[in-house]
Amino acid sequence: MTEEKRKTLRWHPAFYAGIQIEFRGEADCLEFIQEHTLGTEPVRTDMLIIKKSGSRPLQKNIGRIFRTYNVIEYKSPDDSLSIDAFYKAYGYANFYKSLTGGPDQVKITEVTLTLVCSHYPRKLIRHLREIRGYQASPTFPGIYKVTGDIIPIQILVTGKLAEEENLWLKNLTTHIAGADSISHLLADYGPHKANPLYRTIMDTIVRANQKVFKEVQPEMCDALMELMRDELKDEFDKIRADAHTAGETLGMQEGLAAGRREGLREGQVQERKEGIKALIATCRDLNASKESAVSQLMVRYSLNQESAMECVEKYWK
């Protein structure tokens, strides 16, 4: 994946979606607040999860340490959980306690800190042990409980999480394991494909792992194309709208009715061409079969089979 493509991946929104999916069985106990501003200061923590008063103890592995106010700091796969990143997040937890409500309204004993990263933060763990005198012990796969501070702290290493327990956070990565993981994602995504949370995180996972998705079995990618039909339709509609707008602009610049009609006609031709190319490119990038691309062209653009096949052969590069 190129550096430019990496920069366009929206890791944080995908993480926000993923952690809410992880807690879907206990969402009634929790309130999820993204990029929460701490007091009146222009300082924001990535996420704040508030456990509702009187709610039952959480059973989810990543929520066992949660108390009332739970500060979350997330590092994308392109970033690392450094020593300084720990102190910034630790400061967020203290800021939240000191800047929220009236005097001592938020009890420090009701605040927790969760740090999320893709790879084991070896330097940070060593620093916590040797400099701060903390202990960091695994409680579940990929979950390290840090003890020695009045604030309960845990480090989630998503790459080490158990897939059967944390499917979506585990696979929010640029190094998805392969066909089995993709199959598990598809199985869980299918019944929830109308849910924006699932659509957000699935989109990021697919874009971040295009090479692996190309290498899996073609029938699996055909299934993915079917499941993500709505998202693809939105993308194609945008392409068509942009092309249509370009055609209108061209026609208006001609300044004559005939020129405008010609501009519109050219815009419509161009929008159709770009839409066809985009659909074929998407099928190719997901390693779907050419037959699947032909079928979708026949449905979406009312092409006969021969014309659809000619388009696929022309633009399948």
Q: Percent of the chain having pLDDT more than 90?
A: 51
Which among 22, 158, 137, 15 is positioned nearest to 80, based on CA atoms?
158
pLDDT in the model for residue 127: 98
pLDDT at 142 over 90: yes
70 touches 30 (CB < 8 A)? no
User: In 3-state terms, the chain is what percent helix, strand and coil (to 5)?
Assistant: 60, 15, 30
**3-210 — its CATH code?**
3.40.91
Can you say how many angstroms the Cα of residue 264 is from the centroid of all Cα atoms in its chain? 38
Looking at residues 48-54, what average pLDDT do you find?
A: 93
Query: For residue 132, what are the contacts with CB-CB under 8 A and spacing of at least 6?
Result: 148, 149
213 touches 286 (CB < 8 A)? yes
- Report the distance separating Cα 61 and Cα 152, nearest Å: 15
- Report the distance separating Cα 54 and Cα 77, nearest Å: 36
pLDDT at 40 over 60: no
Burial class from Cβ neighbours inside 10 Å (0-12, 13-18, 19+) for residue 18 reads: buried
All structural domains of the chain with their residue ranges: 3-210, 226-315
Identify any residues that bridge with 117 across adjacent strands, giving them in sequence order.
157
225 touches 217 (CB < 8 A)? no
Per-residue pLDDT of 239-261, as tens digits, reads 556 655 655 555 555 555 555 55
The residue with tokens 């792992």 is: 209
**C-alpha distances in Å from residue 132, one per residue of 54, 153, 277:** 34, 13, 57
Looking at residues 62-79, what average pLDDT do you find?
A: 96
244 touches 271 (CB < 8 A)? yes
